[in-house]
Amino acid sequence: MPTAHELTTAVRDFVRETVIPVEVAHAGVLHAGGPGGPGIPGIAGVDAVGGLPAEDRLRADLQAAARDAGLLAPHLASGPLGRRLTTLEQAAVFEAAGYSLFGPIALNIAAPDEGNLHLLERVGTAAQRERWVAPLADARIRSAFAMTEPPPGAGSDPRALRTRAERVPGGWRITGEKWFITGARGADLLICMARTSGEPGDADGATAFLVPGDCAGLEVVRDLGTVDASMAGGHGVVRFDGCLVPDDAVLGEVGGGFAAAQVRLAPARLTHCMRWLGIAGRAHDLALAHVTERRAFGARIADLGLAQQHLADDEIDLAASRALIRETARVLDAVDAGEAEAGDAGTATSIAKTFVSEAVGRVVDRAVQLAGGQGVSDELLLSRYWREVRAFRIYDGSSETHRWSIAKRAVRRFAEGGRHDLGR
């Protein structure tokens, strides 16, 4: 069995040798939209092999290569280490995979499947795990997490949830509309959050349901046009028009949906940070390659003071993000071991998500600036990276929402006698 360090090295080599050439060939675009989508050359349409949509063929080929290399789902017990990676170990592996936009997809550690697997393993019944975990882990199916709704429904405030599930003989009938549902098109499973009691604005009353992608009454209405294009299945508008699911489709407890979602959301915030830190490092390397080769005003750009300030700030943001991710990973591992409270993980991941999402954005933006015309063109992938990371400051809770939450917790902790000199 390899060590965690050897696994990280293997992932790094695989991404560099196998994944990056594919990413470059497709300009970092995996999803070009469904019917009526933009039709980006090289990815839209139907593949001649097996009649699969081209993006599904591309994803399947990348994951087959990872499977052949023994690197598919490396974070799970079924992975190459023969045990589940700790969160701290994941930090290095996920960052190495994230050095390419397509790396996490190839290794099957991308959102939303990675977070959904975590939720199913922690909250699902034995029968639910038996049905869904193995095919998700082996990349035979894809999934989506259906929480966000059009205004005035759930967004950064999940309590605004309006989608409803009504108990009927033998199960539940789900009615409502979701949007910005990552991976919706082509998903074989949707974890749908629906209100089973109370009214929008109530702090409880939500329930999570496992809805098969072919469930009658479930429709992916359209794909949203967004700045990012590297997520399998895109971001869809999904309608639940009286979907009938059996009682055993309830994930967790009836009325316990928000608590179940927190099992998924806190770790998922951090794994997002890990993956996007990888692409920020790639952008920085591309900028370094440009400024060390390009000359202007009688010197390399890398020797000019203003360029050096950008490079130094990149190094600072990357180092600070990496340190914060790893410290937060230690907190999550302590929670798993029963050595810390779940609330500690919520605060730590909110802090990490806010800082890293903004730091990654700064790094990629500076890389675009340093590369000049090539930075905003298709000559390099930097403009694609900029579009991809910009959304990170919004999804999984906007920076403003997390700052509000962090401040509230700080005030409450102080009122309860917590002080930083006490380590609280």
214: Cα within 13 Å, side-chain hemisphere: 1
Identify the residue whose tokens are 């700052």: 403
At residue 54, the pLDDT reads 80
39 has pLDDT over 80: no
Return d(Cα 163, Cα 155) in angstroms, integer. 12
- Does residue 280 share a domain with residue 224? no
- Does residue 161 share a domain with residue 223? yes
- Does residue 32 share a domain with residue 177? no
Phi, psi values for residue 190, rounded to 5°? -120, 130
At residue 44, the pLDDT reads 47
Distances (CA, A) of 43 to 32, 33, 37: 7, 10, 11
- Does residue 267 share a domain with residue 244? no
By DSSP bridging, strand 164-168 and strand 171-182 are antiparallel
Q: Which two tokens stand for residue 32?
A: 């070009």
Q: Is residue 126 part of a domain?
A: no
- Where among 254, 286, 315 does a domain terminate? 254
State the pLDDT confidence band at 420, using cuts at 50, 70 and 90: confident
287 has pLDDT over 70: yes
Q: Which domain holds residue 9?
A: 4-110
End-to-end CA distance of the chain: 39
> Above pLDDT 70, what percent of the chain?
95
Q: Is residue 138 part of a domain?
A: no
CATH number at residue 189: 2.40.110.10
Return d(Cα 326, Cα 324) in angstroms, integer. 5
At residue 307, the pLDDT reads 96
By DSSP bridging, strand 206-212 and strand 189-195 are antiparallel
Q: Which long-range contacts (CB under 8 A, 24 or more apart) does 335-343 make?
A: 336/87, 342/262, 342/266, 343/409
- Does residue 403 share a domain with residue 292? yes
Question: pLDDT tens for residues 133-142?
Answer: 999 999 999 9
- Does residue 407 share a domain with residue 265? yes
At residue 290, the pLDDT reads 96
State the pLDDT confidence band at 33, using cuts at 50, 70 and 90: low
Q: Is residue 199 part of a domain?
A: yes
Question: pLDDT tens for residues 165-178?
Answer: 999 999 999 999 99
42 has pLDDT over 60: no
Domain count, the chain: 3
> What is the arithmetic mean of pLDDT over 184-211?
96
- Does residue 192 share a domain with residue 235? yes
Q: Is residue 129 part of a domain?
A: no
- Does residue 418 share a domain with residue 304? yes
Lowest-pLDDT range, 9-13, 28-32, 302-306?
Answer: 28-32
- Where among 223, 254, 285 does a domain terminate? 254
- Does residue 282 share a domain with residue 200? no
Q: Of residues 191 and 46, which shows the higher confidence score?
A: 191
Cβ contact 209:261 at 8 Å: no
pTM: 0.93
CATH number at residue 75: 1.10.540.10
Question: pLDDT tens for residues 84-110?
Answer: 999 999 999 999 999 999 999 999 999
Question: pLDDT tens for residues 321-337?
Answer: 999 999 999 999 999 88
Would you call 244 helix, strand, or coil by DSSP?
strand
Return d(Cα 372, Cα 370) in angstroms, integer. 5
> Above pLDDT 90, what percent of the chain?
84
- Does residue 281 share a domain with residue 408? yes
> What is the arithmetic mean of pLDDT over 7-17?
98
State the pLDDT confidence band at 53, using cuts at 50, 70 and 90: low
State the pLDDT confidence band at 52, using cuts at 50, 70 and 90: low
Beta-bridge mates of residue 146: 192
CATH number at residue 349: 1.20.140.10
Beta strand extents in 137-275 (DSSP E only): 143-146, 164-168, 171-182, 189-195, 206-212, 218-223, 235-246, 250-251
By DSSP bridging, strand 218-223 and strand 189-195 are unpaired
35 has pLDDT over 80: no
- Where among 110, 126, 152 does a domain terminate? 110
Q: Which two tokens stand for residue 44?
A: 């839209």
Distances (CA, A) of 195 to 231, 233, 328: 28, 26, 32
Cβ contact 143:183 at 8 Å: yes
> What is the arithmetic mean of pLDDT over 223-232?
92
Q: What is the DSSP string of 286-304?
A: HHHHHHHH-EETTEEGGGS
Q: Is residue 48 part of a domain?
A: yes
Identify the residue whose tokens are 């700080």: 410
Q: Which two tokens stand for residue 360?
A: 């990654």
Q: Is residue 131 part of a domain?
A: no
40 has pLDDT over 70: no
Angle at 300 between CA 296 and CA 302, to 5 degrees: 120
Helices and strands (H and E) in the chain: how many: 12, 10
At residue 378, the pLDDT reads 87
204 has pLDDT over 80: yes
- Does residue 387 share a domain with residue 286? yes
Cis before 112? omega within 30: yes
Q: Which two tokens stand for residue 341?
A: 């409270």
Q: Is residue 120 part of a domain?
A: no
By DSSP bridging, strand 143-146 and strand 164-168 are unpaired
Q: Is residue 304 part of a domain?
A: yes
Cβ contact 302:308 at 8 Å: yes
Residue 210: which of 181, 190, 186, 240 has the closest Cα?
190
Cβ contact 133:123 at 8 Å: no
- Does residue 355 share a domain with residue 227? no
Would you call 53 helix, strand, or coil by DSSP?
strand
Question: pLDDT tens for residues 330-384?
Answer: 999 999 888 888 778 899 999 999 999 999 999 999 999 999 999 999 889 999 9
